[in-house]
Chains A and B, each alone.
Chain A
Amino acid sequence: MIRVRGMHKSYRTGKLVTPVLHGVDLEIEDGEMVSIVGPSGSGKSTLLHAIGGLDRDYEGTIEVDGRDLHAMNDVELSAYRNRHVGFVFQTFNLLQHQTCAENVALPSLFARGKQVMSHGQALERAREVLARVDLSDKVDAAPTTLSGGQRQRVAIARALFNEPQLMLCDEPTGNLDSAMGAAIMDLFCRLNREDGITVVIVTHDPRIASATHRRVRVQDGRVLEDEGDDDLAATPRAEAAGEAKAEASADGGDERAEGTAEADDEERRAEG
């Protein structure tokens, strides 16, 4: 369970102080699939990073399963990120000089204690995780040869490497076309449903948000709305994602590989 209490955050650029979050309170239960929506600069990514232990420079408290992140030192916080959190970014953030398997196995490099494994074991585990995101055939491929959707799936596999309880996604579909975005959302829903992983997605796209159980609207540094789906059973999330896909404009990212581009072209023609 994640509990954010009275979180304030400001960015400093020289003498200029830009407040971003003004006393955010938020609770997320285990196994929830939550989207944080809001316009650019509203502070949603900042909130996500703080929950993920990437940022400690804030006021207030963030407790994850009863542990105050602010009180943790660098090593403890790093271990928390390594074992309990999986990050997925808009720009995928894959290491271009490594293969997909090596990218997925990256967390094993910083494992501590019982988690420590050899290079061979790590690659074996990476293969298993890549199979879960349907990329068994791309184990030794370089990320540059993959389509945007495939890259994001590699990034998701990396996030899944240590079987985290929490997955934090920062605009995960922002660089993908709608079809790819829908497929990725489908994957998140599956992971949430089947593995019970808590998924928090930051997005400014209401259609992506609608595919989640709960939507938290952040605006001007405050939680403006917090609404949940009561008719979840009636509207499977996959379908909701499908609807979102159909309506989504083709604002696909520039990271798309040729295969994806072709798919997009077909889609445009269909729309045209």
Chain B
Amino acid sequence: MRSNRLFMMVLANLRRSRNHFLLASIGIVVGIATFAFFLSLGLGVRQVVLGKIFPLDKLEVIPKSLEVDVGPIRMGMGRDVLDDEMVAKIKALPGVKAVYPKMKLTVGSIAYGGEALFGTDLRSEIVADGIDPDLMTEEIDRDGYEFADFDAPERLAEEPLVPCTKDEECGKKMYCGPPAGSTVERGGTKAKAKPKPRPKPKPRPKPKTIDAKIPTRTLAPPTAPPGTQATPPKPATSPSPATPKPGASPRPATASAPAIPGASASAQPGSPSPTTPGTGAAPPGTPRTVPRTPTPKAAEPEPEPEPAKVCRHFVPVIVSNHVVELYNGTLRRAHNFPQLNPDAVRGFTFDLIVGESMVLASNKDRVVHDRGMFVGFSDKAIPLGITLPLGYVQRYNVEFGNAEDAQRYHSVIVEVPVKDDVAMVAKGVEDLELQVKDSGAEQAALLIAVFMMVFGLVSAVIVGIAAVNIMHVFFMLVYERQREIGVMRAVGATRGDIGRIILGEAASLGMMAGTAGLLLAVTAASIFDQVSARYVPDFPYKPTTYFDFPWWLIVASLAFSVSFCVLGALLPARRAARMEPARVLSGN
């Protein structure tokens, strides 16, 4: 029996008995609508909860520490950081695809700016951490924005510095500022009401011996043509005979040339060494050894040479959606600020002053004055604060700490592509005396799974009852059509042919009822979303849609519907196939 002719016959039969089938399929339609509606609701909510509130795709591993409460103080025992060796061990665990160390900024810092957004400049103490930019490539790097370590030594070596005097001279998404790595004395540069024009930072020598791995600031020789009247910056470092031993005093006021192999290599020894007016005494190749704490107000006759300004990339900054939710949901109301559209905030710039704090005791005697730019929002960012590419945080921490700080990670994001491997990786992490940070995701996931299972079960019961109804209708139809079935057998239909016709009708009915149920579910979902958008007040993480209809849910709904209809028609089809044609046709 050719399938296309079978299909035509089946459709004709369905048309013929449409009233019976319409009634019989109501249960299936309702059941499938329930199934699709609640499953898609569960999936949609899970997407919000697990994707935004508790991301579960990547585990965060933190050091296991025993904490002892001593009065109001909680004393951490054991280490609270991870080093490169430990990171390598985590990466070696089976099931782990990649590891991305995270580091917290261990020095006070201030963000300043925001007039364009809030109508007034804001000044805020900020909490920051650094994550591997590779982790964010897919999420952030688009529309010309990039979450990358622009000040990484390798990158600085490739991009020659362009001297400038004002922002307009620099390219898009760049500004004119002191060379990377410059620090200025805090007192003289304290951001006041308006930091513009920004205080001129003074170069500071790299006083420490830094491991080659530690990102360093390097000034490549300027590429300004010789005729250009610009003050080229000095090369940051160059090979020097006076290489201090590792672990040398980290903060000499004037240090000898740091031994930074990477930096040294990037100094392009072959290129002509620029000279700086005023520091001409310094022989070419001399590292920047400008005194770190010159007092501008001092009555020294010879003014400190101003470091050249160069075009710099903004420090790319991402913030968590939590921050947006917190701002839009609560904070803005307190200050009567406008509600922010996260997409439009991209490109917003502000001053980032590292080393300065509202907590007076945390103030350093010098600060790094960079400018930051919001490049995007991500749930991988620190929940409250800003997240920078790891290299920046490493350099800031080293700048205000010591060389070892470059590998004192506070946590590691572990990417486990296969969900089933999560338990195994968690076990491996435990064995390394570390722990997986509990985000509450498991409980939330369990809750949603239970919700979906309950409603899945409810819809299965509805569809099951409907299948019984379908069975009843098919038994009736088989009885009504027994003479017709007898004729078909007489003209050559096998038992299988008869069964296929009945089951084909059931499958087609299931397909139609399933489609109708899906349409009903989608319609109900859209009404639900519209009602929510219109009448439900905003709340944190309020989604634009609560539903998710992935392709597999549609396929599963249809398969569910078809299989239950076929299941219901199985016994009637069997009876039809086994009918004795002779008895039916002779009317006995």
Stretch from A74-82, A193-201, A227-235, A238-246 forming part of the interface with B: A74-82
Q: Does B124 count as interface, using CB distance less than 8 angstroms?
A: no
- B495 and A83 contact, CB distance less than 8 A: no
Q: Does B483 count as interface, using CB distance less than 8 angstroms?
A: yes
On whether A78 and B489 interact (CB within 8 A), knowing A49-B582, A55-B580, A109-B1, the answer reads yes
How many angstroms from the CA of A51 to the CA of B9 in the assembled complex? 29
Interface hits, B474-512 → A, CB 8 Å: 483-484, 486-497
Contacts of B1 in A (CB 8 A): 109-110
Q: Does B245 count as interface, using CB distance less than 8 angstroms?
A: no
Contacts of A158 in B (CB 8 A): 491
- B492 and A79 contact, CB distance less than 8 A: yes
Chain B positions 1 through 13: 1 when the CB is less than 8 Å from some CB of chain A, otherwise 0:
1101110110010
Residue ID in chain B nearest A110 by CB atoms:
B492
Contacts of B4 in A (CB 8 A): 119
| Nearest chain B CB to A90 CB, angstrom units | 8
How many angstroms from the CA of A110 to the CA of B1 in the assembled complex? 5
Q: Does A93 count as interface, using CB distance less than 8 angstroms?
A: yes
| From B9, B494, B496, B588, residue with most partner A Cβ within 10 Å | B494
On whether A95 and B492 interact (CB within 8 A), knowing A45-B586, A110-B1, A170-B586, the answer reads no
- A109 and B9 contact, CB distance less than 8 A: yes
On whether A89 and B491 interact (CB within 8 A), knowing A110-B1, A110-B497, the answer reads no
- A116 and B2 contact, CB distance less than 8 A: yes
Contacts of A173 in B (CB 8 A): none
- B585 and A89 contact, CB distance less than 8 A: yes
Contacts of B297 in A (CB 8 A): none
| Nearest chain A CB to B52 CB, angstrom units | 55
Contacts of B79 in A (CB 8 A): none
- B587 and A74 contact, CB distance less than 8 A: no
Interface hits, A93-125 → B, CB 8 Å: 93, 95, 97-98, 106-107, 109-111, 116, 118-119
Q: Does B581 count as interface, using CB distance less than 8 angstroms?
A: yes
Contacts of A110 in B (CB 8 A): 1, 488, 491-494, 497
- A93 and B582 contact, CB distance less than 8 A: no
Q: Does B196 count as interface, using CB distance less than 8 angstroms?
A: no
On whether A91 and B587 interact (CB within 8 A), knowing A54-B490, A81-B491, the answer reads yes
Contacts of A54 in B (CB 8 A): 489-490, 581-582, 585
| From A52, A78, A81, A87, residue with most partner B Cβ within 10 Å | A78
Q: Does B534 count as interface, using CB distance less than 8 angstroms?
A: no
Q: Does A150 count as interface, using CB distance less than 8 angstroms?
A: no
Q: Does A46 count as interface, using CB distance less than 8 angstroms?
A: yes
Residue ID in chain A nearest B577 by CB atoms:
A74
| Nearest chain B CB to A257 CB, angstrom units | 20
Q: Does B335 count as interface, using CB distance less than 8 angstroms?
A: no
Interface residue from A45, A74, A93, A97 paired with B494 (Cβ < 8 Å): A74
Chain B positions 552 through 574: 1 when the CB is less than 8 Å from some CB of chain A, otherwise 0:
00000000000000000000000
Contacts of B5 in A (CB 8 A): 109, 119
| Nearest chain A CB to B3 CB, angstrom units | 11
- B487 and A78 contact, CB distance less than 8 A: no
Residue ID in chain B nearest A52 by CB atoms:
B490
| Nearest chain B CB to A99 CB, angstrom units | 11
On whether A97 and B490 interact (CB within 8 A), knowing A89-B585, A116-B2, A119-B5, the answer reads no
Q: Tell me the number of A-to-B contacts counted with CB atoms below 8 Å.
A: 80
| Nearest chain A CB to B443 CB, angstrom units | 58
How many angstroms from the CA of A36 to the CA of B495 in the assembled complex? 29
Q: Does B194 count as interface, using CB distance less than 8 angstroms?
A: no
Contacts of A106 in B (CB 8 A): 487-488, 491
How many angstroms from the CA of A119 to the CA of B483 in the assembled complex? 23
Q: Does B172 count as interface, using CB distance less than 8 angstroms?
A: no
- A82 and B582 contact, CB distance less than 8 A: no
How many angstroms from the CA of A118 to the CA of B582 in the assembled complex? 29
| Nearest chain B CB to A224 CB, angstrom units | 21
| Nearest chain B CB to A164 CB, angstrom units | 10
Residue ID in chain A nearest B490 by CB atoms:
A87
How many angstroms from the CA of A260 to the CA of B16 in the assembled complex? 28
Chain B positions 352 through 365: 1 when the CB is less than 8 Å from some CB of chain A, otherwise 0:
00000000000000
How many angstroms from the CA of A98 to the CA of B6 in the assembled complex? 15
- A78 and B582 contact, CB distance less than 8 A: no
On whether A82 and B492 interact (CB within 8 A), knowing A49-B586, A97-B16, the answer reads yes
How many angstroms from the CA of A190 to the CA of B331 in the assembled complex? 100
How many angstroms from the CA of A49 to the CA of B582 in the assembled complex? 6
Residue ID in chain A nearest B12 by CB atoms:
A97
Contacts of B581 in A (CB 8 A): 49, 54-55
How many angstroms from the CA of A91 to the CA of B588 in the assembled complex? 13
- A78 and B494 contact, CB distance less than 8 A: yes
How many angstroms from the CA of A90 to the CA of B586 in the assembled complex? 9
- B492 and A93 contact, CB distance less than 8 A: no
Contacts of A95 in B (CB 8 A): 484, 487
| Nearest chain A CB to B582 CB, angstrom units | 4
Provide a sorted-by-A list of 22 A–B residue pairs whose CB atoms are within 8 angstroms.
A45-B586, A49-B582, A49-B585, A54-B585, A55-B580, A75-B496, A78-B497, A81-B490, A83-B492, A91-B587, A93-B487, A93-B585, A95-B487, A98-B12, A107-B491, A109-B1, A110-B488, A110-B491, A110-B492, A110-B493, A170-B585, A170-B586
A residues with a Cβ closer than 8 A to B are 11, 45-46, 49-50, 52, 54-55, 57, 74-75, 78-79, 81-83, 87, 89, 91, 93, 95, 97-98, 106-107, 109-111, 116, 118-119, 158, 161, 170
The 10 closest A-B CB pairs, nearest first, are A82-B492, A49-B582, A110-B492, A55-B582, A107-B491, A78-B494, A54-B582, A110-B493, A93-B487, A87-B490
B residues with a Cβ closer than 8 A to A are 1-2, 4-6, 8-9, 12, 16, 483-484, 486-497, 580-582, 585-588
Q: A45-B582, A49-B586 are in contact. List 19 more A-B contacts (CB 8 A).
A: A49-B581, A50-B582, A54-B489, A54-B582, A55-B580, A55-B581, A79-B492, A81-B489, A81-B490, A81-B492, A93-B486, A93-B487, A106-B491, A109-B1, A110-B492, A110-B493, A119-B4, A119-B5, A161-B491
